[in-house]
Structure 1
């Protein structure tokens, strides 16, 4: 947590300044903003997904399995939804089959961010925007690939030099480390978010610049004493993604995390500081500007960087690091 300096304390947070895309930013030829003549209309897609979720919620009973399948068959073929799914590597048919399989296998549990079937469908369908954006990107298949990739930088190296505007914790690697973590949570249960922490403390340069940018905006919009932006998950290997699935997490495949372009940021913890809505507004402003895809997953929100923003953020990273 930030320690206030001796300057006068701000009594009220400043309202967040609505995010707007920098002037002159080029849009991708594949239409990566929310509305573009060259690609799917993401506003229409998100709206159609929202309408579908209402119907899925009404068919939540176990006896409604057949009705849910018919509903999915019909709704995924609607133009607003089909336009996005057709533009993913799996295509519409593959996405439909994967979603139906996910629904058939779904078992609610405390670890999963999908509290019910409707939440599972929402997370899956909204995450297809990530996959559509980055359909030509290579997956980090193994843990070793993540550890040794030259596309990623070490966050700890940056943190020690004061170059990060966000925080994170790593997963304990030993029995002793896990024991210390458990004791700390019992003594100071709300001092940090209740998260397993990062398995890989590595990230793409553009993602570092994005998180620094959001972190600065969040700090400026909140009162002294509000902790900085907290990141709970960054890049993952496909190997680790399947580990998470076996443990019961709603870890979708393919995933923007396994491509290195998706991040999870803590949300619920900021309620105790009165800052959750501020952070939500910052993220949604950037989604409206076409820079992010945002998925509300409860305790944490999933965000994925749009390809149209990478050039600006790479320049920002190089400027911050003095490259």
Structure 2
């Protein structure tokens, strides 16, 4: 699995509260120095890519002690420590969480983390999201997602022809799940093999980003190509923990629970010969500092960067006539 291309990105935005240990300097016993510039995300992604090679070389179960020593050393490198220290958990909390995730890791058919190397990659690259939005309040419960005024209902927009991308909701009943199963049996490749979104609500800026990506994909691909397909939007922390219990690689804290992250289907587009085109579009947006991208296999995780927020909000208001 390749690591998405790297970008310095914009200056981090605000933070989210977390029960993890208080932020401290990576070097114990010394006062934390407040950086004068945002962390270098080019250097961070480079350092993570190098770390993953070493973690992969220590993949067998007997290497757990060696992996911990490796992480203790490599996470303290300035390029990595600067990002982890700027997250809500701080360096110590982020490090301890990663070690705990690795200790608890069990491969299964649901998780996007196919092995320990993938788990480390997903966790470390997802810290960019929570660093960017560290002052944003987490959506704790399903009810908060369903009623929050900062989120809009995609179904209302879809019925008015205002969405350029597609999604499907999770069936809410046994009957609905049965109908979905029959449709998949009759037409197995008609839609991506995904459970669908639990919540069809998201931020206005995310709608603008997804519409923009969908139009760019349509321009770059043959006319018969299906539109961009979204597999996950906003999640409550309540739902995120449920996904963890089911075996998914649902990281905490998460950009999904802050409302700024989505998952975009990738594997399904291989049958249309345009997966690489979509990947190039996403990676170009990352290189421009507009998003953070994480290759999670079937779907790619995409998070809006704070520097793109104003432009996307203006685009949404212009498109929707707000």
Aligned-pair distance for 1:28? 4.3
Whole-Å separation in 2 of the counterparts to 1:241 and 1:29: 24
CA contact (8 A) 2:295 2:301 kept: yes
> Equivalent residue for 2:17?
none
Corresponding residue for 2:180? 181
The aligned residue for residue 67 of structure 2 is 68
Unaligned runs of 5+ in 1: 1-25
- Are the structure 2 counterparts of residues 268 and 245 from structure 1 closer, same or farther at C-alpha, using a change threshold of 3 Å? same
Instruction: Mark the runs of 5 or more structure 2 residues left unpaired by the alignment.
Output: 1-8, 15-34
| Alpha-carbon offset, residue 30 of structure 1 | 6.4
* Paired residues for 1:1-323 under 5 Å: 28=11, 38-323=37-322
CA distance in 2, matches of 1:201, 1:157: 10
Distance 2:268 2:13 in 1: 37
CA distance in 2, matches of 1:286, 1:128: 18
**What is the DSSP-based 3-state SS (H/G/I as helix, E as strand, rest coil) of the residue aligned with 1:224?**
coil
Residues 108, 114 of structure 1: 8 Å contact kept: yes
How far apart, in 2, do the equivalents of 1:28 and 1:204 lie?
20
Instruction: State the TM-score, normalized to the length of structure 2.
Output: 0.90
1:27, CA displacement in angstroms? 5.5
Distance 1:90 1:200 in 2: 27
Q: 1:283 to 1:249 in 2, by over 3 A?
A: same
Tell me how far apart the structure 2 counterparts of residues 30 and 107 of structure 1 sit (CA, whole Å).
33
Shift of 1:38: 2.1
Match in the other structure for 1:14: none
Cα displacement (A) at 1:224: 1.1
SS in 1 for 2:230: strand
Secondary structure in 2 matching 1:232: strand
Aligned 8 A contact 2:13 2:133 in 1: no
Shift of 1:319: 0.3
For residues 216 and 36 of structure 2, the distance between their equivalents in structure 1, rounded to whole angstroms, comes to: 31
Alignment partners' CA distance in 2, 1:82 and 1:99: 13
**Residues 249 and 66 (structure 1), Cα distance of their counterparts in 2 relative to 1, 3 Å cut:** same
Q: Aligned partners of 1:30 and 1:95: how far apart in 2? A: 18
Looking at structure 2, the residues matched to 63 and 157 of structure 1 have their Cα atoms a distance apart, in angstroms, of 53
1:190-222 CA distances to partner (integer Å, 9 max, x unpaired)? 000000001000010000000000000000000
Identify if the C-alpha distance between structure 1 residues 316 and 229 changes in structure 2 by more than 3 Å, giving closer, same or farther: same
Per-residue displacement from partner, 1:61-81 (whole Å, max 9, x unpaired)? Answer: 111111000001000000110
* Cα deviation code 1:155-203 (max 9, x no counterpart): 0000000000100000000110000000000110000000000100001
* Cα root mean square deviation, aligned: 1.5
- Asked if 2 retains the 8 angstrom alpha-carbon contact of 1:235 and 1:258, the reply is yes
Aligned with 1:258: secondary structure?
Answer: helix
Provide the C-alpha distance between the structure 1 equivalents of 2:245 and 2:74, rounded to a whole number of angstroms.
Answer: 29
- The alignment of Structure 1 onto Structure 2 pairs a total of residues equal to 294
Deviations, residues 296-321 of structure 1 (Å, cap 9, x unaligned): 00000000000110000000000000
Alpha carbons 2:102, 2:116 under 8 Å: kept = yes
